[in-house]
Structure 1
Amino acid sequence: MTAESPKGENPPQEGAPVFGPAFQAELEALLVWRRDVRRFRSEPLPPGMLERLLVLAELAPSVGLSQPWRFVRVASPERRALVRSNFEAANAEALADYSGSRAALYARLKLSGLDDAPEQLAVFCECAPEQGHGLGRRSMPETLQYSTVCAVHTLWLAARAAGIGLGWVSILDAEALSRDLEVPDSWRLVAYLCLGYPEEEHDDPELARRGWEERRAAGDLFVTR
């Protein structure tokens, strides 16, 4: 039995899946509801859920099939305390860069879910992987980090599809965090992630709700040459 393609579209190649209008609508909803979460319920994820999400993240594309991402689960209270101290110091430095009403607004923002998220992951890029044999990165070695970001985003979508929220904490001293987690020198921090069930649900960015910034229309970010 062969799947039919939507009316007016070319039929799929043999063996290829067909993603019909219902799935496409759900995918759009998934993208809309993929928000950066800072408020988490403290209940743990179901057994095996984190591992399942990481398996899906591994399906992300990578330059030269290098799979340069390295996920470090940060579970011990001692390590988490180091991350929290790191964030507090970096956040204080960031606040000092603002003044007036912008500083007051920054001070009111909730910028991490470190205190509540049941799972925390540090995501690193292996900057000198043998895997991939250098394909596609001779002139643009930063594509290794881009590949790692693709894995983060794949994880983000997989988590949201399972009703799980993800928050990306970027206000950190990356070198200090790498030392505290004792990772190899060739690993470069790309993301620190908090995962758990959201305390509240929103389809708009928190920074827009809090008056920090407005989302620009897609047409403003598209040019033709």
Structure 2
Amino acid sequence: MKRLIQSTFVAIALSLAAGVQGQPVDSLGQRLAACTFCHGEQGRAGPDGYYPRLAGKPADYLYHQLLNFQQGRRQYKPMTVLLQHQTDAYLRDIAHYFAEQKAPYPAPVTVTLSPPQAKRARQLVLHGDAARQVPACVGCHGTALMGTLPATPGLLGLPRDYLNAQLGAWRNGVRKAHAPDCMGDIARRLAPEDIAALSAWLSSQPVPALATLPPAPASVPMTCGSAP
């Protein structure tokens, strides 16, 4: 972890040194080399499945996740170190910068699911599970599953390992949000095999071409503190 933090700051220094005629370039994009070192060019996602896409996500969502890392609701030491002394205004600048990036999505990696697994995943995504008090994913994340404005992220275009890890983190209380923490409640109501099926199914879906994200629906199935 120490080496990762050191490498990140080295990337920042190298980027700032690459100015015209040897003069440092002071732009927001250059300053955020610390982010793209792990999250990929334009924030299009890291290559290993654990650093998620930032590009094109709702700015309010990105801003609140930066706050969550800074304030300890999300646990990843390098992120906390990078953000702990940043101002609120700068966190908003970071969020808006990546929200405005229009990087292409990679082709999804197909994961083979058994017919019962695929059926269960589609049921949870489209209809939820009333018996477990689990709402449909589309109820909050949009009918295209690409997120809604102002603060709900998309579920497509994310690696299986990342989806699995985040649902597991919510289930185990490692990842949190402001109360009411609806995703924590949902993850704890899901069976482990449900999380595995959802992660595999969502990561296998093609990403639709959307010009803009739609606004949040007038009525959502749960009240979430992470989406004021």
Question: Which structure's relative contact order is higher, taking Cα pairs within 8 Å and 6+ residues apart?
Answer: 1
Bigger strand share:
1
Same-fold call, TM > 0.5? no
Bigger helix share:
2
TM-score of the pair, normalised by structure 2: 0.22
